[in-house]
Amino acid sequence: MRSLRIGLLLGLRQIQRASIWTTALIIFVMMLTFLNLVVVSGVLVGLITGAERAVRNESLGDIILSEPTGEKTIIETNSIVSSFASYPEIDSYSIRYKSNAVLEANYKERRNLNTERDIATVNVTGIDPALEDNMSHISDDVVRGEYLDPNEEGYILIGYYYLEESADKFGDVFDTLGIKNPGETVRLTVGDISKEFVVKGIIESKVDDVSLNTYIPEREFRRLFGRIDQNADQRVIRVKSGYSEDDLKKAFVTNGLNAYAKIQTFEEGKPKFITDIKATMNLLGTFIGSIGLVVASITIFIIIFINALSRRRHIGILKGIGIERQAIEIAYVIQAAFYALAGSALGALLIYGFLIGYFERNPIAFPFSDGVLVAPANETLLRFIVLFITTLVAGFIPAWMIVRQNTLNAILGRK
């Protein structure tokens, strides 16, 4: 304890007497190192988090009900929907009917019947336009034309990925059609049944389930696909703010709804690749940040070493008057700790006081998501501990190297 008290006093004196510009520069380097550790991985993870949020907001909602094992559709759809009124946790919901069909464009302009038809196999989703828009705000994704009118029939929304112009961005990954603008007529074929639809609008989103889809009113879907029983393929639910989707799922199970549908929260039902990519991005960000950590450690080592070397005679005098080696080493470790604490504190203040809020208001526009900055407090604390310990070690080693030299040689300046 005596060595600790003396070392603390010596360390504080050295910090006070150091050049303010040198101290500010070292703290700035430590702040950048801390930001590198937290922000790089935070942006990479935030890129996937943005995609995850979009899938939740525009596609899957908070609770997903799908067909149970061994069934092709959700059983007793109408009964389940009727029961929703008894759950105050439900903010909104949508009922979806899903299948595949062949969509054909430009068939009226085709003069030669021997030429190749302009067709594509597409995903078709039957929706109640009002319920769907209330749940996912899908009308905001209509980039050309208009959203479906609940009182109209014979209209269809086409996902942007099915347009030929999307091939310029994504290549020939998807079947595309020569559709240019809303108002054109297309033909939807299911088996031997065909029906003409007018393209009401083009829908584009960074969520593939939306851009790689076509939407028609659910009553026309049921007629076209022969869904007389009205049993749906998917129901998605938005939970009111302040309520938990886990609690709502438990209430569904308690009331026996799991006998008619498979019930999942968003965390359970989200695509697995999102979780895998997020973990990969976090690992990649940690690796990149560790490079900055090594650079900062070397910087602290050099600074403490030069500082201790230039004060070699002073260190010798301290040892000569009875100051223990441990106290002198602690003094230089205190210096390193001060730099790490000050730099990390400024970095944390910048991250939580400005950067997170800024990226929430101004997300980074990546091609497949709106990226944000993700910096969980527990992970930030772990990175700070790693930085702090590394800095202490980097401060101790050069001090130990100088202090262990012969006292008389240090006082006389001999090697």
Residue 318 has pLDDT above 80, yes or no: no
Burial of 400 per CB tally in 10 Å (0-12, 13-18, 19+): middle
Q: Where are the domains of the chain?
A: 2-56+274-412, 68-260
CA distance 198 to 285: 48
**How far apart are alpha carbons 158 and 25 in whole angstroms?**
57
The predicted pLDDT at position 385 comes to 87
Helix runs in 105-190, H state only: 129-136, 167-170
Q: Using one digit for the tens of pLDDT, what is the confidence trace for 326-351? A: 776 777 778 888 888 898 899 999 99
Is 200:157 a contact under the CB 8 Å cutoff?
A: yes
H helix intervals, 1-142: 2-17, 20-55, 77-83, 129-136
Residues of the chain with pLDDT > 70, as a percent, come to 84
Name which residue leads in pLDDT, 398 or 63.
63
Choice between 127 and 311, residue whose per-residue pLDDT is larger: 127
Residue pair 202/133 in contact (Cβ under 8 Å)? The answer is: no
Tell me: the pLDDT tens digits for 99-151? 999 998 887 776 656 567 878 889 999 999 999 999 999 999 999 999 999 88
Mean predicted lDDT score pLDDT of the chain: 82
User: Per-residue pLDDT for 269 more than 70?
Assistant: yes
Torsion angle defined by CA atoms of residues 196, 202, 208 and 213, in that order, rounded to the nearest 10 degrees: -10
Tell me what pLDDT residue 80 has.
86
Query: For residue 236, how many C-alpha atoms fall within 13 Å in the half-sphere facing its CB?
Result: 22
* pLDDT of the residue at 368: 73
Q: Which pLDDT score, from 0 to 100, does residue 310 have?
A: 62
CA dihedral 317, 323, 325, 327 (to 10 degrees): -120
Structure-block tokens of residue 37: 């550790």
Element (H, E) at 219: helix 218-225
Q: What pLDDT was estimated at residue 312? A: 59
Q: Which amino acid is at 21?
A: W
Give dist(CA 44, CA 46) in Å, integer.
5
Contact 399, 303 (CB under 8 A): no
Which of 187-196, 238-247, 332-341 is predicted least confidently?
Answer: 332-341
- 330: tokens are 């602690």
- Chain-centre distance for alpha carbon 252: 29
Judge contact between 312 and 405, C-beta under 8 A.
yes
Report whether pLDDT(303) > 80. Answer: no
